[in-house]
């Protein structure tokens, strides 16, 4: 498979209560988000910002750039690169696996990073990756900004018949945010992803829309992320 790039870590300024892996968007790198995350008023959070492998991306005619998986199109109808998704979800799980037992674990991301975070959420509830290998990380929160849900067409069918899966889905807190003016990942894809997750049984899901916001983040949105994480993870502040 492809080699992952450099990982940037933002250490907690206060008592360490939670560790969140944050995943950048297509063509970006971990350092692109680490500075913003370091400025947030969340002293109890350790942020881990990995960098995706550089790989050919079908969306760009095979031109190589940093990507968590191969994307032919940024919609929920595009074919899913399960091998790439599994590899990135496993890389993230590996980064979280060495955290102390009393630390709450989360995954967040922007755009393609948000898609990878949501894919990880589905691995968590099934207890396995798409390739059936066991997924062993216990997630306490998932945040997706300006993203979409991979493998959305098969989600509900895969959940039928497993009480444990349904229980995990109902209790996993997810925050999705999307701008109505997004011209890269259209707002309708974010909204549909939230609908699919809700109807599949993810009952602890919050969807926030931002009027006129394009494919980027704003302080108002990051304030919402901070408030939500503080409440869901029971963070104590400084």
- Do residues 101 and 91 make contact, with C-beta atoms less than 8 angstroms apart? no
DSSP character for 106? E
Annotated active-site residue in 34, 182, 189, 193? 182
Does 162 participate in catalysis according to the annotation?
Answer: no
* Site of tokens 């894919």: 119
Which string of DSSP letters, residue by residue, matches 202-222? --SEEEEEETT--SS--HHHH
- Residue the block writes with tokens 């599949």: 200
Strand partners, 65: 55
Helix 112-126 to helix 163-171 angle, to the nearest 10 degrees? 140
CB distance 235 to 202 below 8 Å: no
The one catalytic residue in 24, 80, 91, 111 is 111
CB 110 within 8 A of CB 148: no
Is residue 81 part of the annotated active site? The answer reads no
Is 182 catalytic? The answer is yes
**Annotated active-site positions, please?**
111, 182, 215
């Amino acid at each position: 498979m492809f080699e992952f790039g450099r990982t940037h870590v933002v250490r907690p300024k206060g008592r360490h209560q939670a560790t969140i892996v944050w995943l950048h968007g297509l063509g970006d790198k971990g350092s692109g988000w680490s500075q913003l995350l370091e400025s947030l008023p969340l002293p109890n959070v350790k942020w881990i910002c990995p960098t995706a492998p550089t790989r050919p991306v079908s969306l760009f005619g095979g031109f190589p750039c940093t990507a968590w998986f191969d994307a032919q199109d940024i919609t929920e109808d595009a074919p899913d690169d399960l091998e790439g998704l599994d590899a990135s979800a496993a890389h993230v799980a590996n980064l979280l696996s060495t955290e102390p037992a009393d630390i709450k674990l989360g995954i967040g991301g922007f755009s393609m990073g948000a898609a990878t975070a949501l894919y990880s959420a589905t691995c968590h509830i099934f207890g396995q990756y798409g390739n059936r290998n066991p997924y062993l990380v216990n997630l306490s929160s998932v945040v997706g900004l300006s993203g979409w849900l991979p493998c959305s067409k098969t989600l509900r069918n895969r959940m039928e018949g497993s009480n444990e899966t349904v229980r995990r889905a109902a209790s996993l807190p997810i925050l999705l945010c999307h701008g109505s003016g997004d011209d890269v990942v259209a707002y309708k894809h974010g909204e549909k992803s939230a609908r699919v997750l809700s109807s599949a049984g993810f009952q602890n899901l919050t969807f926030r829309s931002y009027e006129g916001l394009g494919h980027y983040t704003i302080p108002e949105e990051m304030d919402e992320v901070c408030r939500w994480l503080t409440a869901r993870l029971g963070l104590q502040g400084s």
